Every structure is written in structure tokens, then in C-alpha cells.
């Protein structure tokens, strides 16, 4: 799982679109704000979730989201709503507005503490 955080208009969906292209997705990659999630086929399956409309993801809502995590690279926009419910991320991406017309991208890898201990 890759979390993609940043304020409105910081480029989260654009970042995910580029990552999908790099993973072999050829069709349109659009924001799932109103559908919660999209699943794409590339060299690997890719899921793209947007939790913007959620305050907190409940256990019942997790049941609707869980299939997106089966055998896929998963990008989650607005992951804060899933704190305590979503799996721990492997990578965290933070997008911020920089100088006019630019973005500052911070990427932290292997965030899951279990991975650091060989689990």
C-alpha cells in the first residue's frame, strides 16, 4: 500500500496516474472521489482509493474496501480517514505546493515496522 497525502490541488491523482503508467496501466486513470475506488490492470493489478468523503473508515466500510487490496499495488488518497483500519503502508508520499507551478514531493519507503524486522 502506498499512501498519497497532500492538500486539495497538490497533485495526488496526477501522481497516482504517473505511477499507474509506470506499472503498465494503459487506459484512463481518473480520480475515484465519487466511486471510492478503481481497479486497473497493468503488469500488476493496481487499485486506486480516495477516502476524501470519509471521516473515519468503519469496520463495515472496510469490508467494501478490502477487495481492492487483494493481489494489487494499492494507492490511497486521503489515507488519514483509514487510520487504525487500513494496513500499514509500505510507502508514504506527501505532496505539497512549492514555488508557483511546482510541487515538493516527499517519499518515505518501508514505513511498515514489521518490514524493518524481516516479517
Diameter of the chain measured on Cα atoms: 43
Whole-prediction pTM: 0.85
Domain ranges of the chain: 2-116
Confidence of residue 57 (pLDDT cuts 50, 70, 90): confident
DSSP result, 62-93: HHHHGGGGTTSEEEEESGGGGTTTSPPPSEEE
Cβ proximity of 18 and 24 under 8 Å:
no
CA–CA gap between residue 52 and residue 30 (Å, rounded): 15
**CATH no. for 2-116:** 3.40.50.300
- The model's pLDDT over 6-41, given as tens digits with 9 standing for 90+, comes to 988 899 999 999 999 999 999 999 888 778 899 999
| No. of helices (H) and no. of strands (E), the chain | 3, 6
Amino acid at each position: 500500500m502506498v499512501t498519497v497525502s497532500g492538500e486539495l490541488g497538490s497533485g495526488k491523482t496526477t501522481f497516482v496516474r504517473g505511477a499507474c503508467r509506470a506499472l503498465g496501466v494503459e487506459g484512463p486513470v481518473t480520480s475515484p472521489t465519487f466511486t471510492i475506488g478503481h481497479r486497473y490492470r497493468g503488469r500488476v493489478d493496481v487499485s486506486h482509493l480516495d477516502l476524501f468523503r470519509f471521516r473515519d473508515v468503519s469496520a463495515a466500510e472496510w469490508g467494501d474496501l478490502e477487495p481492492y487490496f487483494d493481489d494489487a499495488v494499492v494507492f490511497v488518497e486521503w489515507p488519514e480517514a483509514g487510520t487504525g483500519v487500513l494496513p500499514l503502508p509500505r510507502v508514504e508520499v506527501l505532496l505539497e505546493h512549492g514555488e508557483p507551478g511546482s510541487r515538493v514531493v516527499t517519499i518515505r519507503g518501508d514505513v511498515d515496522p514489521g518490514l524493518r524486522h524481516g516479517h
